[in-house]
Amino acid sequence: MQRQRSGPLDGVLVADFSRILAGPYATMLLADLGADVIKVEGPGGDDTRTWTPPVRDGVSTYYLGVNRNKRSIALDLTDPDDLAVARRLAHRADVMIQNFRPGGLRRFGLDHDSVAAANPRVVYASISGFGAGAGAHLPGYDLMVQAASGLMSLTGDPDGPPYKAGVAVFDVMAGLHVAVGVLAALRHRDLHGVGQHVEVDLLSSALSGLVNQSSGHVAAGSVPFRMGNAHPSLFPYEPLPTADGDLVVIAGNDAQFRRLCRVLGVPELADDPRFARNQDRTVHRDALRPLLVERLARRRRDEWFADLTAAGVPCAPINTVADGVALARDLGLDPVVTAGGVPGVRHPIGFSRTPPRHDLPPPRLDEHGDEIRAWLAE
């Protein structure tokens, strides 16, 4: 029986044939908003079930982080009976999301064309690493895309090696793009009565997500390079040392820089022609930086944070993840929710009428298999 869950996507059935991160993240966002998400796993389960440490009660927290509010059914697509169940699910679904290699589901009759022939209203989303054309043979791991897209060439010290980001940023970004694409396609279906194929690849998500860096290349021919924590177009916009640790200090415009100089006790710097405008500060950053550091070194980080914040100068301490969660809690953002006894991070979008739900814990492998098979047999 399809579950009805309050939320803006109540009544939407999602057949989730994805695994690891981009797809499961997208489907969890949809599930939090009320969609009934059925997670289809192979007999061995989602790969992230084995990605440890850390664990909670013996279960990978990687898996737990992107799979709440779903029901699980384990299906072996090489088994005729299980394949029949998978097809029945796809033919009933409002949305099907998969991240097999391009063309990988064709032999099972679960590719877009086959599913849409039986279910023309389906919104079918495909996720790949490098598209369904010449890059179809390449696996879609986030680290590969961080390397191939150019992100790693931007990350790290100027004279040091390239570094990956501390999280799978392009998997997450692609998951967000999938969710946006699915919602747009559902809107189109509501208006015109027909579904469509939504395609997202990690490389395209990455190039879009590189924003000013990729724009600088395609629009002006520049090739950005590693600058450590510095910003190519703003200064200051980086961590600066204080008496007891670094503080991120930002002057996003000339007025903020003037306030920064006033709090630091060097108001004359704001009138120095080398520093008066942002474009001047970026050119003369090597001259300005030591002048700011000399003042910041006179007091502790927390003292500067309080005074700069009070003056309207953007700044922030460099926290651990634990500190970041604590800060969100202190700010009243309630970052942690519990779904069936399993803590997780709250859905990031607030709604005045249809708030996200955090009802079901991440499912055990095939936890709902019998229930789903019985419903599909009706």
Give, in order, the Cα–Cα distances in Å from 217 to each of 64, 86, 170, 224: 38, 45, 19, 8
pLDDT at 46: 97
Q: Which of 46, 171, 201, 366 is catalytic?
A: 171
Two structure tokens written together for 8 = 């803006």
- Please write down the HEC assignment for all residues of 203-260: HHHHHHHCHHHHHHHHHHCCCCCCCCCCCCCCCCEEEEECCCCEEEEECCCHHHHHHH
Q: What is the pLDDT of residue 278?
A: 96
pLDDT at 6: 78
Q: What is the pLDDT along the chain (378 residues), one digit of tens a residue?
A: 667 677 999 999 999 999 999 999 999 999 999 999 999 999 999 999 999 999 999 999 999 999 999 999 999 999 999 999 999 999 999 999 999 999 999 999 999 999 999 999 999 999 999 999 999 999 999 999 999 999 999 999 999 999 999 999 999 999 999 999 999 999 999 999 999 999 999 999 999 999 999 999 999 999 999 999 999 999 999 999 999 999 999 999 999 999 999 999 999 999 999 999 999 999 999 999 999 999 999 999 999 999 999 999 999 999 999 999 999 999 999 999 999 999 999 999 999 999 999 999 999 999 999 999 999 998
Closest C-alpha to 105, from 42, 185, 48: 42
Residue 100: partners with Cβ closer than 8 Å, 6 or more residues away: 17
Per-residue tokens: 151: 């992100």
Cα gap 17→40, rounded to integer Å: 5
DSSP 8-state symbol, 268: G
ω into residue 53 within 30 of 0, thus cis? yes
Output the pLDDT for position 333.
Answer: 97
Query: Is 171 one of the annotated active-site residues of the chain?
Result: yes
Residues 280-310 pLDDT 10s: 999 999 999 999 999 999 999 999 999 999 9
Predicted structure pTM score: 0.94
Question: Do 316 and 248 form a contact (C-beta atoms < 8 A)?
Answer: yes
Q: Within 10 A of 193 (CB to CB), how many other CB atoms are there?
A: 9
Cα distances (angstroms) measured from residue 97 to each of 17, 37, 110, 330: 6, 10, 11, 37
Buried b (16+ CB within 10 A) or exposed e, 221-257: eeeeebeeebeeebbbbbbbebeeeebbbbbeeeebb
Q: Give the single-character DSSP code of 271.
A: G
Angstrom distance (rounded) from CA 176 to CA 190: 21
- Residue 1 confidence (pLDDT): 63
